[in-house]
Amino acid sequence: MGVSQGLGQLLSFSAITLTLWYGLKLTRTESHHYTPGALFMNVTILATQFMPCFQTFAEASASGSFVFDMIERANINVLDGEGKKPETIKGDIEFKDVTFSYPTRQESCILQNFSMKISSGKTIALVGASGCGKSTIIQLIQRFYDPDNGQILIDGHDIKTLNVAWLRSHIGIVSQEPVLFDGSIEENIRLGKLDATDEEVIAAAKLANAHNFIMDFPENYKTISGDKLSGGE
């Protein structure tokens, strides 16, 4: 920001200096056309036009640098086609000596050398005090963040080597505080798989025990979710 502000000021003062110098020259050589009054007016107009522009430019470049910093920090890109997409997924999950702190709060370590193994098909519960890191573990499995140290493996593959979109398409989450988007129930279910057929949407709802109460609404799957549903529903 300092550099661009400095450059901006250099440019605007140079323009005014140039106008003053050339204007003075003209008031001497062509005094019948250019009076000192006209020169003064020109310089004033120039100054008032330039100043706000350069201030805006300096502010914009400072804000821009924050935005670009953030874009560069995000090294997990769901849109890139990189990474392995194994044919099948069994679902064995393993955390190996995982150490993690949130990028915005480096000083507090949420997981330190955390290891666990969950075999495919097992139902498990993570139990612990509020804020101990249970939801963080789920976020790490979805690869919203990468661990600072250690590895997270699914079927023996480090999740960093897997395609992010592929990985997430194999995970179903019912979060602590469910979020529904404005739109129909059907559209909300379809967010998990954009090209799902109507049959697949209904099958998913049946699996989640939601089909029956959805059918009780007058507009069934076309019901606008809004505030019609309870947290559990």
Ligand X SMILES: Nc1ncnc2c1ncn2[C@@H]1O[C@H](COP(=O)(O)OP(=O)(O)OP(=O)(O)O)[C@@H](O)[C@H]1O
Binding site for Mg ion (CB under 5 A): 135
User: CA-CA distances (angstroms) from residue 145 to 74, 120, 172, 178, 214?
Assistant: 9, 23, 18, 21, 35
Nearest-angstrom CA–CA distance, 63 and 68: 9
Interface pattern 174-203 for ligand X (x via CB under 6 A): --x---------------------------
CB under 5 to 8 A by kind: which of Mg ion, ligand X, none does 105 bind? ligand X
- Establish if 8 lies at the interface with ligand X (CB under 6 A): no
Query: Whose CA is closest to 198, among 185, 209, 208?
Result: 185
Sheet of strand 111-118, all strands in order from the earlier edge strand to the far edge: 111-118, 93-100, 149-154, 157-158
Residue placing its CB nearer to ligand X in the complex, 139 or 151? 139
Provide the greatest CA pair distance for the chain. Answer: 96
Residue 57, beta-bridge partner list: none
Nearer to ligand X, 87 or 177 (CB): 177
The DSSP secondary-structure symbol of 128 reads: -
CB nearer ligand X, residue 179 or residue 194: 179
Q: Which one, 4 or 139, has the nearer CB to ligand X?
A: 139
- Binding residue (CB under 6 A) for ligand X from 98, 110, 189, 202: 110
Which of the listed partners (ligand X, Mg ion, none) does 140 bind, with a CB threshold of 5 to 8 Å by partner kind? none
- Minimum distance, C-beta of residue 225 to Mg ion, in the bound complex (Å): 23
User: Which range in 1-9, 50-58, 63-71, 127-135 contacts ligand X by CB under 6 A?
Assistant: 127-135
Task: Please pick, from the candidates 29, 88, 104, 212, the single residue that binds ligand X as defined by CB under 6 A.
Answer: 104
Measured from the CB atom, the residue of 138 and 204 that comes closer to ligand X is 138
Footprint of ligand X on residues 134-173 (CB under 6 A)?
134-136
List C-alpha distances in Å: 52 to 58, 59, 169. 10, 11, 49
Distance CA 149, CA 192 (A): 30
E runs forming strands in 38-131: 93-100, 111-118
Give yes or no for a contact between 91 and 122, defined as CB atoms under 8 angstroms apart: no
Residues forming the site for ligand X (CB under 6 A): 102, 104-105, 110, 128, 130-136, 176
